[in-house]
Each structure stands twice: as structure tokens, then as C-alpha cells.
Amino acid sequence: DQQVKQNSPSLSVQEGRISILNCDYTNSMFDYFLWYKKYPAEGPTFLISISSIKDKNEDGRFTVFLNKSAKHLSLHIVPSQPGDSAVYFCAASDKGGNTGKLIFGQGTTLQVKP
Amino acid sequence: DGGITQSPKYLFRKEGQNVTLSCEQNLNHDAMYWYRQDPGQGLRLIYYSQIVNDFQKGDIAEGYSVSREKKESFPLTVTSAQKNPTAFYLCASSMAGGGRTEAFFGQGTRLTVV
């Protein structure tokens, strides 16, 4: 049972435009959500997170939106740059973060074209 | 520099052999995790440990074993019982509890069965 889903395996956008990556979850106990960026043959690096008490968190070009009623979150990258090309993973933490266990989605490969 | 180190980066194993992947962290994190990445399947949790001398199975623990004798170290053994061990293995660590569960990842070990 996939509790965190990224239904778009890939996304291609033009440099300077907005990239929107989506993530859905099924477990209503999740209360902390994270986005990671991953290059091939490397470990994921943390990008941005959001607690369930918020509906938006912004950090530079990256903004994460959370819609709890729809169990949906999205990552916006504006403006997109070629260096943003990577695999993006959505992750969720269960049990209020007391275990720290992260459940990951399948990932979305973003390609930003110059 | 604080961080999490996995070794080796590449590992080749003959069928029927056990092999151990190393993971060391100097971040003073209580929690450590092992994930496996296969193409198109995201990161799947193998084992995790919240404290020394204690660990729990993740979603795909069969054919794997771990130990947590020291806070800094969380080695993963891939046994001959693991039917499809060729994959990219990622180790991570995080602070336990507190609600902020950002995990830091190592650079990964690519295991290939020959």
C-alpha cells in the first residue's frame, strides 16, 4: 500500500518558468512533510519541509503548499534553472515525528531545459 | 565536518555470499535508517533504529540484518536470503522525536550481484 504517491514520473519545463511537483498521501496521521532532491548516484539532499499546522512554507525559489483536506502537497520552483534538473522525492513523517520514520514517494524526474 | 558516511561506494557480491555495508555518522543523531532505491520505486525502508541496541523492521526487511552497537554506526548486512539484492542503498540519520524529522543521507552504496 503506497501511502505517499507521486503520480507524475517526469516533468519537463523551460528555464525561467515555474515547476510544479505534486504529491498525494493517504495516511491522515502524517503531520510533517518534506521534499528532497536527488542527483544520480548520490544521496538525497533536504530541500524544504512543512508542518501540518501550516499551509505554505517558502524558502527562496522553493515553496511548498499543503492541502490537508485533499491530502495533497506541491512543490513550486520559481524560476526554474537547469541546475534544478534532478529527481524530487516527497516524504511524510508518521506519528507526529516521534519515530522519525520517513515514508517516501516514488519520485518525479524534473528536467529544466535551457 | 559533520556528516554521514557510507562505504564502499560500489560493491560487488557473488551469489550466495553475505555482504556488509557500512554507515557512520558524527551528527550525534539518535535515529538511523537504511533505505533501498530501485528504478521507479522511490526509497523503501529496510530497517531503522531509534536508539542504541534497538532497531525495527521497515517495509522490506526480509533478507537483511542490522546491528546498532554504537550510536555512530548502523551497518547493514545483505544476506544470501535476499533474492534481488542489486540496488542502490542509502543510509540516513535524524534527531529522534521533537517533531522535526529531517533526515540526512549518505552518498549511497551501489551493490551489484555478479
pLDDT in tens, A19-74: 999 999 998 888 889 999 999 888 999 999 999 999 999 999 999 999 999 999 99
Cell numbers at B43, concatenated: 526509497
Judged against a pLDDT cut of 70, whether residue A2 lies above it is answered with yes
Q: Does an H or E element contain B89, and which? A: strand B87-94
Phi, psi of A69 (to 5 degrees): -65, -35
Nearest to B76 by CA among B109, B98, B41: B109
Q: Which residues of A touch B43 (CB under 8 A)?
A: 44, 89, 104
Q: Which residues of B touch A51 (CB under 8 A)?
A: 99
Per-residue pLDDT tens over the stretch B23-68: 999 999 989 999 999 987 789 999 999 899 999 999 899 999 999 9
pLDDT at residue number B7? 93
Q: How many residues does chain A have?
A: 114
pLDDT at residue number A31? 87
Judged against a pLDDT cut of 50, whether residue B10 lies above it is answered with yes
Q: Which residues of A touch B101 (CB under 8 A)?
A: 32, 34, 93, 97, 100, 102
Shortest Cα–Cα distance, A97 to chain B (Å): 4
Average pLDDT over every residue of A11-24: 98
Judged against a pLDDT cut of 80, whether residue A94 lies above it is answered with no
HSE toward the beta carbon, residue B49, CA cutoff 13 A = 25
Separation between Cα atoms, residue B30 and residue A103, nearest integer Å: 18
Q: Which chain B residue has its CA at the smallest distance from A100's CA?
A: B101
Separation between Cα atoms, residue A91 and residue A4, nearest integer Å: 7
Question: Going along A4-107, which residue ranges are E strands?
Answer: 4-5, 10-14, 19-25, 32-38, 45-51, 56-59, 62-67, 72-77, 86-93, 102-104
Mutate to test the interface with B, among A29, A101, A106, A109 (most CBs of B within 10 A): A101
A46:B88 CB<8 A:
no
Judged against a pLDDT cut of 60, whether residue A98 lies above it is answered with no
Q: Which residues of A touch B38 (CB under 8 A)?
A: none
Q: Is the dihedral of CA A15, A46, A37, A92 positive or negative?
A: negative
Nearest to B83 by CA among B66, B62, B65, B56: B62
Judged against a pLDDT cut of 70, whether residue B99 lies above it is answered with no
Average pLDDT over every residue of B80-90: 92
B101:A100 CB<8 A:
yes
Task: Say what percent of chain A tops pLDDT 70.
Answer: 94
Judged against a pLDDT cut of 90, whether residue B98 lies above it is answered with no
A41:B94 CB<8 A:
no
Judged against a pLDDT cut of 70, whether residue B15 lies above it is answered with yes
Shortest Cα–Cα distance, A81 to chain B (Å): 24
